[in-house]
Amino acid sequence: MSDAPTSTPATAGSSALQTTPLNALHIELGARMVPFAGYSMPVQYPAGLMAEHHHTRTAAGLFDVSHMGQLRLVGADAAAAFESLMPVDVIDLAVGKQRYGLLLNEAGGIMDDLMFVRREADIFVVVNGACKVADIAHIQATIGTRCEVIPMPEMALLALQGPQAVTALSRLAPGVEKLVFMTGGHFVVQTGSLAINVFLTRSGYTGEDGFEISVHSSQADALARALLAQPEVKPIGLGARNSLRLEAGLCLHGNDIDAGTTPVEANLLWAMQKVRRTGGARAGGFPAADKILAAITHPAPGSRKRVGLVALERVPVREHTVLQDLNGNAIGEVTSGLLGPTVDKPVAMGYVPVEFAALGTRVNAIVRGKVVPMEVAAMPFNPTNYFRG
């Protein structure tokens, strides 16, 4: 879950863009800043996207994702209320566990994808930066009478990702190594005489082991500097964040999923637990449930599906590229695509009719008038390395 970065450099002193608590650090480190979800954000540092991508895959990369929205849902009815907005199991989620969720509109389209954690006193939610204002307003309007909806604009968010992330973070916060993928807890990060209280989860958006760390804005800079002082850690920009997530087969809201895409089309049925499906104990009860549940068992004629694609020639295939069948008929388009730095081949996601969605199916992409053959492929393109214990 993330927003798509733009490629236009941010103008110095632009009053239209917000900055994160790490802005001074980004500038100090020589980052190239771009407009991103209304913020001035680092797209890359002097080492460059490729080096940053490979460093995250082999060591540990630190990302500033403070543009994301954080909020708390509080009250005895919070879990049931939140579950009414999504086709996922919230009620049965145990304390300390994290889950991926899909916030749906009345047509069953994905308003946003998000992460949430059941905690002792609340449900902690992280939404995408470009959607956070609308998300919070929607949640408040729909379930605000059933629970407290408390935005957390005072909090920053950092992501430490990569196979050596746990080594680096456990020096500063002993005990984090005991967490497994999609669990979280409160920890104290000790840096010199400063004790920094954080809430973190063992999760991320790169396909690697790692952590997402919620910290008060007043202590975000100190936390980032403490992490960057670890020998395994380097700063990573949004460009590498995008290439890492695509190799991991993870959706980008606004590209691969949006308010006009249902979970069935998006091939995200794994995020819909059995308890919310037909025959489950709490089947339905979410927006457009009848439509979505019917589409699972009886796909409508002409329905489409998100698939992974690999180019059979060394030509990157970017978003919005038209996809054709082998007879030259337009059948869909690419939603994300690039030359994967780790897999060393052009990879992409896109939507095609269900009859073209089987693994191994050949389609053609039209890149600057040239036919580039592609094949429907399994995702993730690069094996994930989540720590499951």
Per-residue CA distances from 191 to 22, 68, 122, 199, 254 (Å): 17, 25, 28, 16, 38
pLDDT above 80: residue 347? yes
pLDDT reported for residue 2? 58
Separation CA 4–CA 384 (nearest Å): 22
The CATH number that applies at residue 167 is 3.30.1360.120
Residue 172: strand, helix, or coil: helix
Q: Domain for residue 269, yes or no?
A: no
Total structural domains in the chain?
2
CA 319/CA 129 separation, integer angstroms: 21
Instruction: Choose one of 231, 247, 263: the last residue of a domain.
Output: 247
17 found inside a domain: no
Collapse the DSSP code of 294 into the 3-class scheme (helix H, G, I; strand E, B; otherwise coil) and give the result: helix
Is 192 a member of any domain? yes
Please tell me whether residues 48 and 184 are part of one structural domain.
yes
Q: Give yes or no for residue 10 having a pLDDT over 90.
A: no
Mean pLDDT for the stretch of residues 42-47: 98
How many of the other CB atoms lie within 10 Å of CB of 254?
A: 17
Residue 187 lies in a domain: yes
Q: Which residues contact 329 (CB under 8 A, 6 or more apart)?
A: none
Q: Same structural domain for residues 49 and 180?
A: yes
**Predicted confidence band of residue 6 (pLDDT cuts 50, 70, 90):** very low
Write down the number of H helices and E strands in the chain: 8, 19
9-18 mean pLDDT? 57
DSSP secondary-structure letter at 238?
Answer: H
Q: pLDDT, tens digit, for every residue of 186-227?
A: 999 999 999 999 999 999 999 999 999 999 999 999 999 999
59 with 176, same domain: the answer is yes
CA angle 224, 113, 65 (to 5 degrees): 15
Of 232, 247, 262, the domain-final residue: 247
The predicted model gives 174-179 an average pLDDT of 98
- Look at residue 121 and tell me if it is in a domain: no
Residue at 359: amino acid letter? L
Q: What is the dihedral of CA 190, 193, 194, 198, to 10 degrees?
A: 20
Specify whether 200 is located in the same domain as 345. Answer: no
Whether 165 contacts 181, CB under 8 Å? no
Rounded Cα distance, 264 and 262, in Å: 5
pLDDT of residue 253: 98
Which domain, by its residues, includes 35? 23-66+154-247
Cα-based distances in Å from 251 to 182, 235, 267, 374: 17, 23, 10, 20
Both 241 and 316 in one domain: the answer is no
Q: What is the CATH number of the domain that holds 329?
A: 2.40.30.110
* Residues 241 and 371 both lie in one domain: no
Is 282 inside any structural domain? no
- 212 inside domain: yes
Whether residue 307 is found in the same domain as residue 228: no
Residue 242 sits in the same domain as residue 160: yes
**Paired tokens of 1:** 């879950």
In the DSSP assignment, the letter for residue 343 is: T
241 falls within a domain: yes
Mark whether 164 and 234 lie in a shared domain: yes
| DSSP annotation of 143 | H
Inform me whether the pLDDT recorded for 11 exceeds 60. no
Residues 187 and 62 in one domain: yes
Condensed to tens digits (0 to 9), the pLDDT of residues 130-151 reads 999 999 999 999 999 999 999 9
Residue 283 has pLDDT above 70, yes or no: yes
Task: Give the 3-state secondary structure percentages of the chain, helix then strand then coil, rounded to 5.
Answer: 25, 35, 45
The bridge status of strand 330-340 relative to strand 345-353 is: antiparallel
Residue 299's pLDDT is 86
Do 337 and 228 belong to one domain? no
Percent of the chain past pLDDT 70, that is, above it, reads: 96
Listed residues 212, 247, 282: the one ending a domain: 247
